[in-house]
Structure 1
């Protein structure tokens, strides 16, 4: 069975049409007269900025029976790392809201009872540790068990579908921020991931993907002519998503990634960091496409809340050449070398993993944690076999790569 609905096309014109924009005209037969569930959050909007739940409810009256939400909740108001959201009720639509970041991270049989098809419309951000891929994987498995079909309304990878970064995740570090051997920056859309997951894990589920029209894997979100609606509270801009594949490594350290400031993930620092000293130690010639400025900042919450931190801000000048993972590894190792008595790798728990160090499940293994700032090759720590990864997934691409 071909899971792809519609014929995806590419162009340089904007704006593109996403799955939610095309689905009325490309609607799979399994939706007709079906009782529907919808996995979404506040970033799930069409080109007119209508929420997907309203689009579905208006175009298929009486068929929407439940909403499901990922980490951060329907409104994206909940913070990260095991800050769970409650189940609720959507009074306007008269349907329950089931949280898949609560006592469960998979739809239960009770949640899926009475549902014939689960529609998934989530804006992913192109980084392995972002949990929306893994919520999708759990939905595929749960729907297979319950005999429920799945329709994925595809959305763009906001940091493009060509560049791959970061080593493959080691199976020993599988967790809810990584459930398959993929790189940190993987280049897949959520629709492509769904098709690959079904094959990779031999999940016996009826799957359909409503593709986009006009999206090129070479494009960044800033090129698309669409509003960026934050899919989570600490990715407020498309720029923050671009630096996220590397800056998320800071969650495994005692360095602030800027949570509690207006520019999360675009800055790095701690009270013990001297901005000018750090700036002088950054090998800028080896980090194309980015510039750094010294700064002081004071987070209002999270690490170092209320304390003045020294550090640098990150400014991407060339999206095509910028490599977030390599950049953040360089920054972390520079700080570790300059302030060895203050720098720390954080202990567990992290995203429901209570045994392994957080940096291991974030980076994909123990190599970064065990590295020494002066002796380890940055190339070795950042290496990924792009061709091998592309060979694994190219059969599941819905949009051609150049």
Structure 2
């Protein structure tokens, strides 16, 4: 997963659209027979359920800027409540979410709390001894529901470390903003395993991190089939059909709900030379290339404070598609954008400029080969239908919330 953003990098608690509180419909009715809306309560907000598990224990945490309770960082709240936190692990983008796509996350100290920080993005040979130094681990990251989003690889690593050291892991669950869909190819072949395709799940997996943690345990995906001592604090008043707008941006290039919903479809362009808006104010809301054949909308990727030094098509006038006004609730995973741009391309022989990376994003080399062969979306979907059906059956075993179907 790559990231750049512009004007939002470095902000810790950045609110998305002023969408109001997230609510779920309650089956109970009020005195007038109307449906009652109940606010979603994340796992992190349910102190009565997990603070007793931390009493008298030393703890470590995997978190970042999405680890919030209201408008406060969970770390600050836990320290205030007397939890004996010893360190924090940081995923891609760092503990405060201000590190660029794929860049090194260094071991350092959190300037706000003095808490030692350690990276789990990439190798950390000391990770086992770090986890061994505490009694319990806490995991609180906001995922976005796509297999190529690397926070779920971080979840797996924390589970493995806890299993290795015999430590309990408390997962503070959060809603999946793309949890109303299960779609795309299922990764089967370990040849395509990477940070962007870590698990044998559908590309759009339809799980919260708590549900995925149960799947990792239940399917024996940890080394040697080991089990993590896992406790999930589930979200209250949530189901998979509930629209959910993230209160804090999960990474610099997903600055609003439109980008979060379009990300599932546009991320495959990351293995091409097309721009998905990095270096503009609209990452994952526009797509284009320096050729008028791709559309009449134009934009020029540039530079913004805190962004990566180089982005795709930086300084070049790109022609393409403007998706900024899309209704986020109507966005679901589709291949139509990728297929349309491929079919319009006068350079099909080099359209997939990084084919190995594309195959890792897709979890298979079949999708790239099907596009080159000229298959349409219906035919491509038919080819993964059986695997997707089998995945959906497996997924049902681990659901903590009512499904969208």
TM-score (norm 1): 0.82
Larger CA deviation: 313-322 vs 64-73: 313-322
Residue 40 of structure 2 is matched in structure 1 by 16
Q: Secondary structure at the match of 1:251?
A: helix
Matched residues in 2 for 1:164 and 1:228: separation? 23
Are residue 344 (structure 1) and residue 351 (structure 2) matched? yes
- Once the two structures are TM-superposed, the CA of residue 328 in structure 1 deviates from its matched residue by 3.1
Matches within 5 A, 1:75-224: 75-81=96-102, 83-104=103-124, 108-159=127-178, 161-171=179-189, 172-200=191-219, 201=221, 202-222=225-245
Q: Secondary structure at the match of 1:141?
A: helix
Match of 2:301 among 269, 279, 298: 298
Match of 1:329 among 320, 338, 360: 338
Q: Secondary structure at the match of 2:268?
A: helix
Q: How many residues align?
A: 358
> Please, what is the CA RMSD of the aligned residues?
2.3
- Once the two structures are TM-superposed, the CA of residue 325 in structure 1 deviates from its matched residue by 3.0
Q: Secondary structure at the match of 1:333?
A: helix
- Once the two structures are TM-superposed, the CA of residue 319 in structure 1 deviates from its matched residue by 4.7
- Once the two structures are TM-superposed, the CA of residue 306 in structure 1 deviates from its matched residue by 1.4
Query: After TM superposition, what 4+ stretches of structure 1 lie above 4 angstroms from structure 2?
Result: 315-321
CA deviation string 1:350-392 (max 9, x = no partner)? xxxxxx7100000121123223557313223345434322210
CA deviation string 1:235-254 (max 9, x = no partner)? 11121110111111011111
CA deviation string 1:207-242 (max 9, x = no partner)? 0000111112112223xxxx6311111111121110
Determine if contact 1:143/1:205 at 8 Å carries over to the other structure: yes
Determine if contact 1:254/1:346 at 8 Å carries over to the other structure: yes
Matched residues in 2 for 1:10 and 1:145: separation? 41
Q: Secondary structure at the match of 1:357?
A: helix
- Once the two structures are TM-superposed, the CA of residue 321 in structure 1 deviates from its matched residue by 4.8
Larger CA deviation: 371-380 vs 194-203: 371-380
Matched residues in 1 for 2:80 and 2:181: separation? 38
Matched residues in 2 for 1:10 and 1:188: separation? 20
Summarize the Cα distance change of 1:14–1:306 in structure 2 as closer, same or farther, 3 Å threshold: farther
Determine if contact 2:139/2:171 at 8 Å carries over to the other structure: yes
Summarize the Cα distance change of 1:327–1:13 in structure 2 as closer, same or farther, 3 Å threshold: farther
Are residue 278 (structure 1) and residue 294 (structure 2) matched? yes
